Structure 1
Amino acid sequence: MTSTPVEARAGSPVDSPVTLRATAAPGQPDVTPELEELYRGFEAELLVPLWTEIGDLMPAHPRSRALPHRWTWERLVRLAEGAGRLVPVGRGGERRAIALANPGLGGRPFATPTLWAAIQYLMPGEDAPEHRHTQHAFRFVVEGSGVWTVVGGDPVPMNRGDFLPQAGWNWHAHHNATDRPMAWIDGLDIPFQYLAEAQFFEFGRDGISGAERITPERSRSERLWGHPGLSPVGARHTAPGSPLLSYKWEYTDRALADQLALEREGHAATVEPGHAAVRFSNPVDGADVLPTLRAEFHRVARGAETAPVRETGSSVFQVFDGSGTVTVGDRTWTVARGDLFVVPSWEPFSARSEAGASDSDSGALDLFRFSDAPVFEALRLHRTTKDSR
C-alpha cells in the first residue's frame, strides 16, 4: 500500500504505510464522515480491520501470485554459454547460477513463492569455490557429465539423469574435470527461507585440496548408503536430509520401466494408466530427501494423458526426455528435452506424451519434478484433488 501522511496521536504529522479507503459495497459499513475519521485513526496507529482485507487474506481457495510459465532449455543453455564467457565463477559472484524469475513475482529471482530454480554452468577445468548455507539444495543433470560436486570433502560424480540432494549447512564446491562445459539445474528453498527470515550463509575455502580433486565413479556416500533396501549397521545418520548424495539414473530408469511393464502384465503398479512415478526418499527413514523439498520422477507412456491434478503448494518440472504437451491452468505448451515449467498452487496440471524412439531413450515423456510438499504436509496444509476425465 502507498504511504499517506496522517496525524499521530500527539498531533505531529507522520507517514503511515497503512492506507484505508471506505467503500460502498455489500458487507461493508456505510460510508460516513465518522467512518472516515475512524479509518484515519486506524492508519495513525498502524491498524488494519479484517473487514477491509478478508477477500485477499482468506479467499475461498489459493490464489497464487506466481503464474504458469515455461522456459525452453535451448534458450537457457545459449544464455548460460554467454555467461560462461563473460562472468567469473569465483568469489564475489559465488557461482555462475542463473535463476528463473516467475513473471508474477515482481522480478524477484524466484520460480515460485517458495522455490528457487536455476541453471548453473561450469567451464572446462573450472572450480566453483566452497561455501555453505542453511538453504536445502539439490542438483539435477539433464545432459552431460564430467563435473564432481564435493560435499563435506566427498567428491560426487554428476552424470545425466542423476539427482544429487544436499541438506543445508554442508560445505560444498564443484570442479569440472573435463575439457567441455557442463550445465545442470539447481533447486533450493531460498524463497521460503527468505520469507521466513531464517537464512545463513558462510564462505569456505577458495580452493579444494588435491585429495578432493579426484574423480571416483562412486562417492563415499554411495558406497555406504547406495544399496537398495540395505542400511549400514555400523553407520548412524542423525543430520537432516538424506545421507545418500547421488541417486543414479540407472535405478530411476529401471524403477519406472518396471512399473509400466507390470501395468502391461495386468498388475497394479502405476499412478494411473500409462503414468509411472517414483519419489526420491531418505534411505534412513523413507522420508523426503530434504526437509523442505520433495523430488519425484514421472514417466508418461506415449499417447497417455494424466488426469488434471490440483495441489496446494507449488512445483517446478523439467523435461528429462521426450516430448508432449503440458497444461497448467489455462496455459498449454509443447515441451521437449530440458524445458522447465512452473505449476503454481492450486492450478490444475496435466501432461500428454507424444514421445517416441526418435526423441526419448525410454520412448516416453520423462518429467523430473520438485515441490514444497514437505512444508505443506508438516503444517497440515497439504490438499490435493484429481479431476475425473
Structure 2
Amino acid sequence: MNKLDSLESLYQAFDGLSVEGGWYRRTPALWPEPRKNFVPFRWRYADVKPILDAAGHLVDHAMADRRNLTMTNPVEGNLYATVRSMVAAYQLIKPGETADAHRHTPNALRIILEGKGTYTVVDGTRVEMRPGDVLLTPSWAWHSHSSNGNEDCYWVDVLDVPLVHLMEGMFFERHPDKLEPDVVDADSSPIAFRWEDTLAALAVAAPPAHGMAEREVELGNPALRTVALHAQRFNAGFCSALYRTTANSIFTVIQGRGRTVVDGETIEWAMGDVIAIPAWRAYRHEADAESFMVRASDEPVMRAIGMLREEVMRQSV
C-alpha cells in the first residue's frame, strides 16, 4: 500500500475496498426532509378500461397468474412501484373464468369498481366481490378468483410488493392443486368490507381532524399490517385543508368527480381513477359532485418505526 500521507492518497486507498469516508461522501446520506423522488400521478380508468377489455380477448389466465395492468410511477428509473412502498394495478376477470390459487408474502387488497357475480377465495373462505367492496388478502394466504355471473368484473389491486422487495422477504407459491379443495361460502367475513356498511359508517362519522374529507372512516385497525385503509366522503363543493404526511398514499375514486391539487399541480379525477400521492407532498381535494374515495397508505409501517408525521399546513380558501 502506498504511503498514506495526504488526503489524495487516503482516498485512493478506499478504491477496491468498498468503503467511503463519512466526511467525504459522493452523495449525501442525510437530508433535512423527505426528497421528492416519486411523483404525483393519476391513472384514468376511462383510458385503461378499453385496454383491459382488449386484454380480455387476447390474454387468458394460462399466460399469467392474473390479468392486470400495473400502475408504474413515471419517475425516471422506476420499473414497477406506484409509490415507494406500494403498487396498484387494474384487474379484469370475465364471466366463467377462474384465476388459480397462489400465495405470497406481500399483503394485498382489492377495491371493486364494476361487475357482479365474481368471488374471491381466501384461505378456504369464498366471498362475493361487489362494487364498492374492499377485500383483503393477508400475507401468505391462499387466494383465487372466479366469476360465476354474466358481467365483466373490474377492480383495483393494492399490494405492498415494493416494500417486500426492499426488505428482501419475497416468497411466492402456486397451489399444488390449482384451487383449494374445501371451500366455505360466507356473506360476511373479516376480509370483506361491504360498501353498504362503509356508507352507513360514513353517514354517522365525525369530520376528521385533518380536514381532508367531510367524513372519514378507517376500514380495519389497520386493515393489514403494512397498509391502512380509509374511506372518505366529499359533498359537492367541498374543498379540503392543505395537508402532507410522511405516509405514501394511493387513492381510488369509487364515485364522483373533482380534482386534487398536489404541490400546485392540478389532477382531475372521476370514478375509477387512481391517484398516487407520494410522501410529504402537500395536497388538497376539491369535489365537484358527491364523491367517495378509498385511501390506501403505508401508515402502519411509518407509525411502527416512529416516522409518521402529519401536518395540516393551512385551510384552503
SS of residue matched to 1:50: coil
Indicate the RMSD between aligned Cα atoms, in angstroms: 2.2
- 2:153 corresponds in structure 1 to 182
The residue type paired with residue 243 of structure 2 is V
With structure 1 as the length reference, what TM-score do the two structures score? 0.75
How far apart are the structure 1 equivalents of 2:49 and 2:263? Answer: 27
Shift of 1:210: 7.9
- 1:97 corresponds in structure 2 to 68
Q: 2:137 aligns with which of 153, 166, 179?
A: 166
Shift of 1:47: 1.0
> Quick check: 1:127–1:207 contact (8 Å CA) kept in 2?
no
How far apart are the structure 2 equivalents of 1:117 and 1:249? Answer: 20
> Quick check: 2:241–2:313 contact (8 Å CA) kept in 1?
yes
- 1:136 corresponds in structure 2 to 107
Shift of 1:43: 2.5
Shift of 1:123: 1.6
The structure whose Rg is larger is: 1
Matches within 5 A, 1:77-226: 77-90=49-62, 93-104=64-75, 106-205=77-176, 207-208=178-179, 212=183, 218-219=186-187, 222=188
Does 2:9 align with 1:37? yes
How far apart are the structure 1 equivalents of 2:248 and 2:169? Answer: 20
C-alpha distance 61-292 of structure 1, shift in aligned 2 (>3 A): same
Shift of 1:388: 1.5
- 2:265 corresponds in structure 1 to 331
Does 2:261 align with 1:349? no
> Quick check: 2:257–2:271 contact (8 Å CA) kept in 1?
yes
1:104-139 Cα offsets, whole Å, 9 max, x none, are 152422101100111111121010001011111111
- 2:300 corresponds in structure 1 to 374
- 1:255 corresponds in structure 2 to 201
1:320-368 Cα offsets, whole Å, 9 max, x none, are 111111012232111111111111110012101111xxxxxxxx12111
> Quick check: 2:212–2:285 contact (8 Å CA) kept in 1?
no
Unaligned runs of 5+ in 1: 1-8, 11-32, 227-243, 260-267, 282-286, 356-363
1:241-269 Cα offsets, whole Å, 9 max, x none, are xxx0101000111121223xxxxxxxx64
- 1:291 corresponds in structure 2 to 225
Does 2:47 align with 1:75? yes
How far apart are the structure 2 equivalents of 1:374 and 1:307? Answer: 23
C-alpha distance 247-131 of structure 1, shift in aligned 2 (>3 A): same
> Quick check: 2:116–2:151 contact (8 Å CA) kept in 1?
no
> Quick check: 1:167–1:290 contact (8 Å CA) kept in 2?
yes
C-alpha distance 275-126 of structure 1, shift in aligned 2 (>3 A): same
C-alpha distance 274-122 of structure 1, shift in aligned 2 (>3 A): closer
SS of residue matched to 1:84: helix
SS of residue matched to 2:18: coil
SS of residue matched to 1:66: coil
> Quick check: 2:257–2:270 contact (8 Å CA) kept in 1?
yes
Which has a greater percent of helix? Answer: 1
> Quick check: 1:101–1:109 contact (8 Å CA) kept in 2?
yes
SS of residue matched to 2:129: strand
How far apart are the structure 1 equivalents of 2:207 and 2:269? Answer: 26
How far apart are the structure 2 equivalents of 1:385 and 1:252? Answer: 26
- 1:319 corresponds in structure 2 to 253
The residue type paired with residue 111 of structure 1 is T
How far apart are the structure 2 equivalents of 1:210 and 1:199? Answer: 26
Q: Structure with the greater relative contact order (CA < 8 A, sep ≥ 6): 1 or 2?
A: 2
Q: 1:48 aligns with which of 5, 17, 20?
A: 20
> Quick check: 1:273–1:304 contact (8 Å CA) kept in 2?
no
In the alignment of these two chains, the number of paired residues is 312
How far apart are the structure 2 equivalents of 1:311 and 1:319? Answer: 20
How far apart are the structure 2 equivalents of 1:136 and 1:101? Answer: 18
How far apart are the structure 2 equivalents of 1:175 and 1:387? Answer: 45
The residue type paired with residue 57 of structure 1 is A
SS of residue matched to 2:42: strand
> Quick check: 2:105–2:140 contact (8 Å CA) kept in 1?
yes
How far apart are the structure 2 equivalents of 1:180 and 1:326? Answer: 32
C-alpha distance 133-210 of structure 1, shift in aligned 2 (>3 A): closer
The residue type paired with residue 40 of structure 2 is P
Shift of 1:309: 0.9
SS of residue matched to 2:117: strand
How far apart are the structure 2 equivalents of 1:269 and 1:330? Answer: 25
> Quick check: 1:67–1:104 contact (8 Å CA) kept in 2?
yes
1:22-80 Cα offsets, whole Å, 9 max, x none, are xxxxxxxxxxx943332222232111223344964211100142111111011111111
Unaligned runs of 5+ in 2: none
SS of residue matched to 2:34: coil
- 1:279 corresponds in structure 2 to 218
